[in-house]
Chains A and B, each alone.
Chain A
Amino acid sequence: MTTTSKDPILVVLQLTGGNDYLNTVIPYTNPLYRDNRPVVGVAEDRVLPLDDKVGFHPEMGPMKTIYDRGDMAIIHGVGYPNSPRSHFRSMDIWHTCEPDKLGTEGWLGKATKDIDPNKENVLTSVAFGASLFRALVLPGVPVAVVDDLDTYGLLPGISEQTQRARILDRFARLYSPAIGTGAVMDYLGQTGLDTLEGADILKQAPQMYSSSVEYPDTVISKRLKGIAQIHMANLGTRIFYVDHGSFDSHSNQVGMHDKLWQDVSQGVECFFDDLKEHGVGDNVIMLMFTEFGRRTHDNGSGTDHGAGGAAFVLGENVKGGQYGEYPSLESRDLEQGDVVPNHDFRGLYSTILEDWMHLDAKPIVEGSFEKFSYLG
């Protein structure tokens, strides 16, 4: 059995593009749902009921399994006031907790700094994908960005090892903070040094891994498997970040949304099964969020950008159930045709930061916001 230290670990799965709240956690007994969703509505007999009010999208069977065993909190009506309904601005706001001005410091970048103030581990935070999520950005804080664990390494083309060592040694000197000035040079320098250090460590992870869990052959499953491998290799990573999408279902929503949730649900189930098989799941939670929900009324093929959405927190030590209130679908309660968020996303972050990561949330989210008790 693999052993891990029992520091709390957070995995963030970002549902990029604006996941449709109403067709994910479906208020299937509410007649207003039917009225608003003449085209993309999910028939009542296909909904996977959670209770007599709401149920999951039919492709979320594996998510329901997790919910049913009490390992998932559904947080209703998450968002923030005055949604700009722009993907990009909205995602920036989620990443930086700055609704009014341009934020450059990510909430998890700040969390990483609190966890590892002296930068003892370049792998405290690891992102999977081709780009670095702004949520993880903070000057001076290392983040390893991995697209493929199997090919991660510098100058593999130089086969002669003494020569490679000689060049890499000089590489480290050329990236030292003593050379060059300015934020971008510093950032490049630090990234280069962290890459050099992280690459050798990360290479071990797939070699140490074996599992009976067979992940499906999808992008999100491959990345979640990589996260499981790094977690099991016990490299001290505390924050993982990955995304999947695009959930931007303006048109042909029916088939598109089905496939997205099929891939996500299956991947997430395999991930938690994998951790369970190795006995390393009890210190891991996963947050799933999206930048906004979608418009209440469908547009005849899909749904346009909206405001309030749902978030999910999963893990063996999560107190499962539903938190907060499903926002009203009554037309007099809608704002510009959207359900109005009633739980500030910074409260969601605060709950995770304080009750799970044991960090001080106030300086990270810049204020005090309502918390729920799914983590303690």
Chain B
Amino acid sequence: MADHDIALMSHLLRRAGFGAPREELEARAAKGYEATVEELLNPKTQEIADRDEMMRYHPWTWRPGTLPGMGAAEWLHDMVNTENPLEEKMALFWHQVFATGVSKVDHYDDVMDMIVKFRQKGMGDFRVLLLEMAQDPAMIYWLDNCDNHASAVNENWGRELLELFSLGVGNYTEVDVRECSRAFTGWTIQPKLPRGPIGRHDWFFQFKEEDHDDGEKTFLGETGNLNGDDIIRIISEQPATAMFIARHLYNFFVADEAQVPAWAVTPPIDQEAIDLLTDTLIESNYDIRSTLRVLFNSEFFKNARFARLKSPTEVVVGTLRLVGGAEFPAPGIGDLSRQPSYMGQDLLNPPSVEGWHTGAEWINSGSLMRRVNFTAELVGDVERPGIKSLVERLQSQGDKSAEKVVDGCLDLMGPLEVQPESRVELIQFVGEKGEFGWSSPEQTEESKARVSELLQLIVSLREYQYA
């Protein structure tokens, strides 16, 4: 099997998933690239990872209500162990777009219910998903639509729907915001019972006709007694919406774009690619699956290896998948699920409805330190199954020279593409202690320790921050 196929498969799995161990890459590459894309797009089953062990060992991760700290543990476990990586990746994608957080919703269950919707419907018709979000209890509370009344309009949801979920700044007026908000009056939640000792009651969507503004509205040029579903229909007819979603997909899967609020004033880095994705969205009636198929099979995607920075979730989940050993929900999963937040991405709790700033803005001195420290500790543990198998491969290849061991490690960890100068530094680093030996148990132990040091240095590389 050509090295090129493995490198490309590794790229696809990093983007359309959270990376994969070498054995999986080899098996998938044997099936072929396009076949793998189809497999990712059409998961065999909607069953998510087995919940029984999570329930048995960490019962508080199941619908944790308002209990802080364990909220994202279940999701993290799913991301690490899923057999349908693209489904989980799309859940993360939509969570970053429809960014809704427990800081205000104060109820993990309702925010997790959004993740379930993203997982189930995230590759379907975008218009359906948008309507689903307009009726989602967590979203309604997060953006105050439960306080949007016929007699007193609250613009929060109406504005963010246009600004952040569909058209983007510059494609509507302040009057449109007002009229859009009026159309969503009466879209609320029930029951509004008080908070209990360890949580709230689950919420459900309710349309309260008597609280809906039935008057005439003019939105983006269309006049009538518009309701919320009319607004979503009108929004979807605007090419600006397709382009906005196309840009989101590009930014998440292909290469880092400017931050979302700047899109009105910054052109895309690859207009042709955005046009292709926009056209696909329009022609397919907003079918996300068809659009992703075009994206993953495009040359601009295949050529974008290591062209974007990993998000904290990608760093944590990707490294855990690489080192293995997180299949069983062992004690400590709560701490693992907090790791992305230490690096600046508190899952289920984005800083605001804008979501997270991505790309180079993930990186600052504090977050870089967290990335290095967390990943170095994981790959430094030679008892982890993924690291064990990596060492065994090196050993069976009989790699002895510093050069061979460095190349072997870089290959088995990705393959990772690093700057030639970085490679020379790594070779010098391990070369300080001479050749590696594998012929006696003592030599093997020493070589293992040296490989562990080398791996820690490799994940500390700038290059490791790229996906």
On chain A, the residues within 8 Å of B264 by CB distance are 89
B352, A17: Cβ atoms under 8 Å?
yes
Question: Which listed residue, A84, A189, A304, touches B462 by the CB 8 Å rule?
Answer: A189
Return B418 CB to nearest CB of chain A, in Å.
Answer: 9
Question: Taking the complex as formed, is B389 at the interface, i.e. its CB lies under 8 A from any CB of chain A?
Answer: no
B395 within 8 A of A: no
Say whether A88 contacts B354, CB under 8 Å: yes
**B residues in contact with A167, CB < 8 Å:** 453, 456-457, 460
Task: Give the residue name and chain of the B residue nearest to A298 (CB).
Answer: B152
Interface size on B, residues (CB 8 A): 64
Choose from B104, B361, B369, B461 the contact partner of A132 (Cβ within 8 Å): B361
B410 at the interface (CB under 8 A from A): no
- The DSSP consensus for interface residues of chain B is helix
A189 contacts across to B, CB distance below 8 A: 462
Among B260, B266, B352, B425, contact of A246 (Cβ-Cβ < 8 Å): B352
Give complex CA distance A248, B429 in Å: 51
Task: For residue A321, give the distance in angstroms from its CB to the closest CB of chain B.
Answer: 34
A188 touches B341 (CB 8 A): no
Q: Does A305 contact B (CB under 8 A)?
A: yes
B residues 256-273 with Cβ under 8 Å of A? 256, 258-262, 264-266
Distance, CA A210 to CA B124, complexed state (A): 58
- Interface 9-residue window, one of B8-16, B370-378, B436-444: B370-378
Contact with A174, one of B258, B342, B367, B422 (Cβ below 8 angstroms)? B422
Taking a contact as CB atoms closer than 8 A, the residue among A85, A180, A250, A300 that contacts B419 in the complex is A180
Q: Interface residues, chain A, CB within 8 Å of chain B? A: 16-17, 84-89, 92, 100-102, 127, 130-132, 142-147, 152-158, 163, 166-167, 170-171, 173-175, 178-180, 183-185, 187-189, 191-192, 194-195, 198-199, 246, 248, 250-252, 299-302, 304-305, 336
5 cross-chain CB contacts under 8 A: A100-B265, A155-B456, A167-B456, A184-B309, A302-B154
Given contacts A131-B351, A192-B462, A250-B156, 18 further A-B contacts (CB under 8 A): A87-B352, A88-B352, A92-B261, A131-B344, A131-B357, A145-B366, A155-B372, A155-B376, A170-B457, A174-B460, A180-B421, A184-B360, A250-B143, A250-B154, A251-B156, A300-B152, A305-B155, A336-B174
Listed in ascending order, the chain B residues whose CB lies under 8 Å from chain A are 103-104, 143-144, 146-147, 149, 151-156, 159, 163, 169, 174, 256, 258-262, 264-266, 309, 341-342, 344, 346, 351-352, 354, 357, 359-361, 363-369, 372-373, 376-377, 380, 419, 421-422, 425, 429, 432, 453, 456-457, 460-463, 465
Nearest 10 A/B pairs, CB to CB: A300-B152, A88-B261, A132-B364, A145-B364, A145-B366, A195-B365, A102-B262, A251-B147, A251-B144, A250-B144
